[in-house]
Amino acid sequence: MPCVSSHLDQMVKMPCSYNSVVDKILMVEQILSEFRLNKEELKEVMKRMQREMERGLRLETHEEASVKMLPTYVCSTPEGSVCVLTEVGDFLALDLGGTNFRVMLVKVGEDEERSWKVETKNQMYSIPEDAMTGTAEMLFDYIAECMSDFLDQHHIKHKKLPLGFTFSFPVRHEDIDKGILLNWTKGFKASGAEGNNVVGLLRDAIKRRGDFEMDVVAMVNDTVATMISCYYEDRSCEVGMIVGTGCNACYMEEMRTVELVEGEEGRMCVNTEWGAFGDNGELEEFRLEYDRVVDETSINPGHQLYEKLISGKYMGELVRLVLMKLVNEDLLFNGEASELLKTRGSFETRYVSQVESDTGDRKQIYNILSSLGVLPSELDCDIVRLVCESVSTRSAHMCGAGLAGVINQMRERRSQEALEITVGVDGSVYKLHPCFRDRFHKIVRDLTPHCKITFIQSEEGSGRGAALISAVACKMAACMLTQ
């Protein structure tokens, strides 16, 4: 089934009163039209993103800016080469960015052609709700417990290995291995962590256990891990982006404009933390009634408003709220919703991908809706698909406008008439949704006419990104600027 689909003709042929079907479709289309953004509106989002980025970079406006533009201490030379000289050997990588986290043993070496060769062994662990929302000590003790379990499984508890820590939350870096957590996102709320050094919290938890030692050499954001992973594949990769549970981007900014650190030469990777774009009101006219309900019922009302328009954590709930609106307007399921469909969080984001992957026989859509306690007609199935397409398309377009802002900013900074750039991307929405990528790529290119953009899907899932980050960390000191 094509990504951009129209089911109008198909719907009109349904065995139902012609006028009632057409009227129903027109009313549904009118409600869903709110999700459609034209090119001028997307250009406006892009311009506002660039303005907030500028405010985040400047010392005098950084504190009040919604887009924080956090320095990462991952640097490049004045010639533009990212400083990622890699140590060979065994490393441990820890990847914490959502409700699951991963511990990995990685072996980094060189093959006969001096290309990097990475072998990994990894284990995924699920973080219980009480650890996510309890205390920082509980959370990091649990992480240390899982690390201990992993080391036991692989019989390496006696080794003191270098550890690269991919930590995907807003952090103000003071060094490559020291970062202050500014605020939790993505459902985490462990008390006692915000305002503290995250690496210190991990080291303290390891010390409390006392049954293994670890040398935590670096902490980086998952966008940075993605960028560096893809840089090994394409040396033009200077942007990293995640569209999954959360949504964020990083890129190589000119050192002279990063006012939070000293130095003029070369470039530094900046973690935009653009999920908070809109927190100062920049997106008010673009937020719909469903967005406001999602925000009000979230764990962090008023925060991460741009992310709440885009990311996988909220997409399914947005669809559910639209479906409930259509039920209440007597446009869906004969005006009756099941108790399950009325329940917050019941329409999972994976259902959005599955609905839009339906081949046209509606079986997949029917099965999903049946599992939610409703027995849909064929017309109901088609309307649900239209809702999913509307929500996910807006997500792709909003995300594309943000990235276009980043890329245009890079081109303007470098005073280049045309810019060739590669973007490394990871995240479940980008990888698994059947149409997100194409919609997203098109909008980015439409909004950046003077740029030639290549997109690379990160192989982070195989462990390469986290592996390279932990290896890079051992030589990263050579790249850091002296404060």
Q: Which residues contact 23 (CB under 8 A, 6 or more apart)?
A: none
State the catalytic residues: 186, 222
Given the structure tokens 């409930």, which residue do they identify? 324
What element of type H or E holds 290?
Answer: helix 289-296
Q: Are 428 and 245 in contact (CB under 8 A)?
A: yes
Cα–Cα–Cα angle for 398, 39, 425, rounded to 5 degrees: 35
Tokens standing for 431? Answer: 């990888």
Per-residue b or e along 420-438, where b marks 16 or more CB atoms closer than 10 Å to that residue's CB: ebbbbbbbbbbbbbbbbbe
d(CA 330, CA 346): 21
How far is Cα 300 from Cα 281, in angstroms, rounded to an integer? 16
Residue whose tokens read 């719909």: 288
Q: What gap in Å lies between CA 217 and CA 222, rounded to an integer?
A: 16
Cβ atoms 237, 231 nearer than 8 A: yes
Q: In sequence order, what are the beta bridge partners of 243?
A: 247
Distances (CA, A) of 118 to 234, 243, 466, 479: 17, 25, 11, 22
Beta-sheet strands, E only, within 147-288: 161-167, 171-175, 178-181, 214-220, 237-243, 247-254, 267-271
| Measured distance CA(467)–CA(120) in Å, rounded | 8
Tokens of 460: 């982070």
- Beta strands 237-243 and 247-254: pairing type? antiparallel
CA distance readout (Å), 372 to 290, 308, 320, 345, 418? 20, 24, 11, 11, 50
